[in-house]
Amino acid sequence: MKSTKDRILQTLLRKPRITINEIAEAVGINAISVRHHLSNLEKEGLIAAEEERHGVGRPRLVYSLTEDGMERFPTKYLRLTTRLLAQLKETMPGPVVTQLFNQVAEDLANQYAADIKDLSMEERLDFVKELLAQEGFTVEWEMKDGQYQIHEISCPYYQIGVSHPEVCTMDQTLISKMLAVPASKVQCILSGGSHCTYVVQPTTTKN
């Protein structure tokens, strides 16, 4: 049997932007209990509340799933993405497809340019680690043999990369742009490695 939390999330998946009373009716518990669960779900970042005008009087609060909340449910994004990339590669030259992935990474890096411009190399490495974690990666870095090694322990794009390894250029471009030095890939999970590893040379200057 699903938990009350799961039933609330399922209700919001089927019918977004509904009130506490509507959720209570759908789930079969009282509004006070719903309010408690909604508070916890908001803290977890799975739902969001928004004021909505509804006729005369005070606006009411309506609730919807956030992006993180939506990702709690099975999707067919992988299948769709793979098909789209296959079609893209059939209609566009390979270098153009690779450049598209590079541009995505550059655009993302540019969003954080002001945040990292005064950071040291190791501060930037920590920033990259957290940024990639938000994208679904598990990343660790270390100083080894006089250079920084960045290990992607898990990759959310692995299944896509099996058929379309061009997607891996996004990671390399993003890391290079964020650290302001070239990142060289020395190990790749798609080539039989246990994980992907990038190497960058240390620098003492701030960029």
Return the half-sphere exposure (C-beta side, CA atoms, 13 A cut-off) of residue 190: 15
Average pLDDT (125-143) is: 94
Show me where the domains of the chain are located. Answer: 4-70, 94-200
Q: What is the CA radius of gyration of the chain?
A: 22
Round to whole Å and give the CA distance between 95 and 190.
20
pLDDT confidence band for 97 (50 / 70 / 90): very high
The strand pairing partners of 151, in sequence order, are 140, 197
In this prediction, residue 207 has a pLDDT band, given cuts at 50, 70 and 90, of very low
pLDDT tens digit sequence for 141-181: 999 999 999 999 988 888 899 899 999 999 999 999 999 99
Q: How far is 50 from 63, CA to CA, in rounded Å?
A: 6
Would the pLDDT of 115 be above 90?
Answer: yes
- CA–CA gap between residue 189 and residue 53 (Å, rounded): 51
Task: Give the pLDDT mean for 32-48.
Answer: 95
pLDDT digits (tens, 9 = 90+) for 42-69: 999 999 999 988 777 788 899 999 988 8
**Cβ 97 vs Cβ 166: under 8 Å:** yes
CA distance 104 to 170: 7
Mean pLDDT of the chain: 91
> Please, which pLDDT band fits residue 78 given cuts at 50, 70 and 90?
confident
At the second CATH level, the architecture of 4-70 is Orthogonal Bundle (1.10)
CATH of 94-200, one of 3.30.2270.10, 3.50.50.60, 3.40.920.10, 3.90.1520.10: 3.90.1520.10
Q: What is the pLDDT of residue 1?
A: 59
